[in-house]
Structure 1
């Protein structure tokens, strides 16, 4: 029988609790332009099917889940890859048109576009000469 040994202190079999999901806050970049706010969230391993984006009462909830399945009949000796959950919330200002928010995911990177309402877009006022 081949044995796999961990080289760090306290080597032991992982417990069910250790293999359970942990919740992480995804790293985000937020960019602004005149007509929208753009959010890019890093959520490695999250797929379109496990991604949830909801807006309720001015709060946008961004959640995703990475699912790890253990092959049937096997028990883990050592596991660093774990199922995990990403969760982050954003309070939206009144200038955001929450009905027009769009999202796409590409290789675990979520791109959100939060359009500003027309009344909150910056505009230049033309000055008339007297």
Structure 2
């Protein structure tokens, strides 16, 4: 004896089976694709500590434009491979990462400093002196 069932094209199971795996999301390691940081403020300026592990200090670029700070870094692929050796798995991130953020006060670019040690970038960003309002006399 055979079982007959009626086909319904709008049945949820049919649609699920049709598109199963078609829109599969690409898995990205979010920890490797962003720079995590802490920003602190006092009366004179800002202190930024940014985690950028596995990068040479020459490959870190910092740009200050008014109150906007941009940090970018690049890790390069090392293609060192010995004869007879094959790579079974490669998990280290290779590429470019960047982050920009705006602060409340403008930064004094001439007095700003950066230091990179043990995978942590430390920025000291002094606030730009606020010019006093100029008073005009009416003649």
TM-score (norm 1): 0.63
Q: State the shift of 1:33 in Å.
A: 1.5
Q: Deviations over 1:46-90 (max 9, x none)?
A: 111101011236432101112231214655321111313221101
More moved, 76-85 vs 108-117: 76-85
Gap change, CA 1:78 and 1:95, over 3 Å in 2: closer
CA contact (8 A) 2:64 2:107 kept: no
Distance 1:50 1:81, change over 3 A: same
The verdict on how the C-alpha distance between 1:31 and 1:92 changes in structure 2, with shifts beyond 3 A counting, is closer
CA distance in 2, matches of 1:85, 1:69: 15
Is the alpha carbon distance of 1:90 and 1:113 closer, same or farther for their aligned partners in structure 2, counting shifts above 3 Å? same
| Residues 66, 107 of structure 2: 8 Å contact kept | no
Structure 1: give runs of 5+ residues left out of the alignment: 1-22, 121-130
Q: Is the 8 A contact 1:24 1:84 kept in 2?
A: no
- Distance verdict in 2 for CA 1:56–1:104, change over 3 Å: same
Cα distance in 2, alignment partners of residues 34 and 84 from structure 1 = 37
What value does the CA root-mean-square deviation take over the aligned residues? 2.3
Rg comparison, structure with higher value: 2
Residue 75 of structure 2 contacts residue 94 of structure 2 at CA under 8 Å; is this kept in 1? yes
TM-score, normalised via structure 2 length? 0.60
Once the two structures are superposed, the pairs formed by residues 68-107 of structure 1 within 5 Å of their partners are: 68-72=77-81, 75-107=86-118
- Quote the Cα distance in structure 2 between the aligned partners of 1:24 and 1:61: 15
Q: Could you say which structure has the greater relative contact order, defined with CA pairs below 8 angstroms and 6 or more residues apart?
A: 1
